[in-house]
A and B are shown apart, each in its own frame.
Chain A
Amino acid sequence: MTLKIVASQCTSCSACEPECPNVAISEKNGTFVIDPKKCTECIGHFDVPQCAAVCPVDDTCVIDNAYPRYQPTA
């Protein structure tokens, strides 16, 4: 899995962008998006996904069930 940003809720405040340890977040069409290929749900970096922790709007940075669970490589 990866996280995704619910575009309709994103205020485009950019707080998540610099917090992402994988540089997976960028601005696109006025809101921010997470590149599912780069997102690791912050596993191995932090206890909680940083984008969700810093986001000012609840339930905006959420797990994207369309992708399989991230598997850290040893």
Chain B
Amino acid sequence: MHASTQQENAVGMNAVGMDEKLAEVMQAKAEHQGCGTSGGSGKASCGSSAGQGDLPTEIWEKVKNHPCYSEEAHHHYARMHVAVAPACNIQCNYCNRKYDCANESRPGVVSEKLTPEQAAKKVLAVASTIPQMTVLGIAGPGDPLANPEKTFKTFELINRTAPDIKLCLSTNGLALPDHVDTIAGFNVDHVTITINMVDPEVGAKIYPWVFWKHKRYTGYEAAKLLTDRQMLGLEMLTERGILCKVNSVMIPGINDKHLVEVNRAVKSRGAFLHNIMPLISSPEHGTVFGLNGQRGPTAQELKALQDECEGEMNMMRHCRQCRADAVGLLGEDRSAEFTTDKIMAMEVNYDLDSRKAYQALVEEERVAKVAAKQEELEALAGEQSDIKLLTAVATKGSGLINEHFGHAKEFQVWELSTAGAKFVGHRRVDLYCQGGYGEEDSLETIIRAINDCHAVFVAKIGGCPKADLIKAGIEPVDTFAHEFIEKSAITWFKEYLNKVKTGEIVHTARGDAEIRQGALINAA
């Protein structure tokens, strides 16, 4: 299903921080361009960038509040998943349903499963506490459509009690064609299908079996069945105007090169967004891939593939590979606040008007940011250079360099060129519960995670890590503390180009970087 995480966006706007936030925003000079407004082409990526861009109005209306379909929206709007669908109808080599650990988090692993009634209560509880929660997804931990009664009962209950919440689901696609009409009937306008191959020869290496019509199929036959059903389901959805995101797990040596073909196949069938995620694979997960030593991609391998697929198709770069019971903004996990015991004891007061009022404030903030972002784009006018490099940014959100180096659980990665600053992803650096990442080597972990970057922008940094970063060839930059990311990065980049021009420094390429394994949980 999905896979890793982080939290630059501590935009955790509860009503209290709102005034302060709005004030910040009014003086904003720049914020996100979205993860793919690569200066020249003006192509809005990650679903939609800072504004409507070239999206038709009816599609913009669907994506603008959906954190997974719009990179920019994910700084403002939260989602939640309810784990009502534990059963699955296929087996994937990157999934092991048996393995569970309280301190561990991966897609397919949840703390507790819910009944549809508990799920509906939970949605109301979260919606009342987090007014920017706009999307309810069912993503497992199995397959929502292998549990159709539970999934649709949940949708029905939520439609009745909280009709303003968008419904979405994430499926492997095997049972999808059977349920498209029901999905459309519930006004679900976002469906994610995990598609890892369109060639059954490749699929046979990923899926040991599928269960369909009372029979277990294996090998080529299983993968052929799955891919045929996925393509049919995708076509049926897009025909009905339902937006489809395709998730693909990048498995080096198995489907990495093949995903370009997958990209073409889903694009031609009308998929809206493609999310290529790194394989999470570690022996302690007990998955087939984990146990046979199958590695995940490096950061540069992942980025190269995403870049290759980014053309006419929107690529999602802000996925944190969250769990089937995640709650909150992408990159934060508030699920611990909403355990079944807690929600059952909660007095829920679902106030649609106050939610709408809150969301109206968020919209004002977004408009202000969009209006303020032009200036920095002009700063690079006239610059000519082939240099393209990556920089890491420690941020708590709001588009600002506002996190202390040592406190960052993830870094945003921005690609700088004369075309501008482009968001290309996140790198997790939080300490993971297993695998012996102790305090003492946390700096090493961070350096490995951003080793392909030339600089790291921080609000503050201590002397020791500063020296170690310089030794590793990464320039720590703390002179833009609490300033906007894009503007600062571009200013720094202009200086960098000047220094190269004058011969003060020599531009050299950086190495590759490591992708942390496992999804983020705040408890880690």
| Interface residues of A, Cβ cutoff 8 Å to B | 9, 11-15, 17-19, 46-48, 50, 53-54, 56-57
Contact = CB atoms under 8 A, between A and B. Distances in A.
A56 B172 CA distance: 15
Interface of B is mostly: loop
A53 B97 CA distance: 16
Nearest to B217: A53
B215 A13 contact: no
Given A15-B89, A19-B214, A46-B214, 14 more contacts: A11-B97, A11-B98, A12-B86, A13-B86, A13-B87, A15-B88, A15-B211, A47-B215, A48-B216, A53-B211, A53-B215, A54-B216, A56-B91, A56-B97
Given A54-B211, A56-B97, A15 B216 contact: no
Contacts of A13: 86-88, 97, 141-142
Interface in B142-171: 142, 146-147, 149
Residue among B91, B113, B214, B216 with most chain A CB within 10 A: B214
Residue among A12, A54, A57 with most chain B CB within 10 A: A54
Nearest to A9: B98
B370 to A, nearest CB: 45
Interface residues of B, number: 17
Interface of B: 86-89, 91, 97-98, 113, 141-142, 146-147, 149, 211, 214-216
A68 to B, nearest CB: 26
Contacts of B142: 13, 15
Interface of A is mostly: loop
Contacts of B147: 14
Nearest to B100: A11
Contacts of A56: 88, 91, 97-98
A14 B149 CA distance: 12
A46 B149 CA distance: 23
Residue among B87, B89, B215 with most chain A CB within 10 A: B87
Contacts of B113: 12
Nearest to A46: B214
| Interchain residue pairs A-B with the least CB separation, the first 4 | A15-B87, A53-B216, A13-B86, A11-B97
7 contacts: A15-B89, A15-B146, A18-B87, A48-B215, A50-B214, A56-B91, A56-B97
A14 B113 CA distance: 11
A7 to B, nearest CB: 13
Contacts of B98: 9, 11, 56-57
B71 to A, nearest CB: 33
A15 B210 CA distance: 13
Contacts of A12: 86, 113
A31 B42 CA distance: 53
Contacts of B146: 15
B87 A14 contact: yes
Contacts of B214: 19, 46, 50, 53
Contacts of B97: 11, 13, 56-57
Nearest to A17: B87
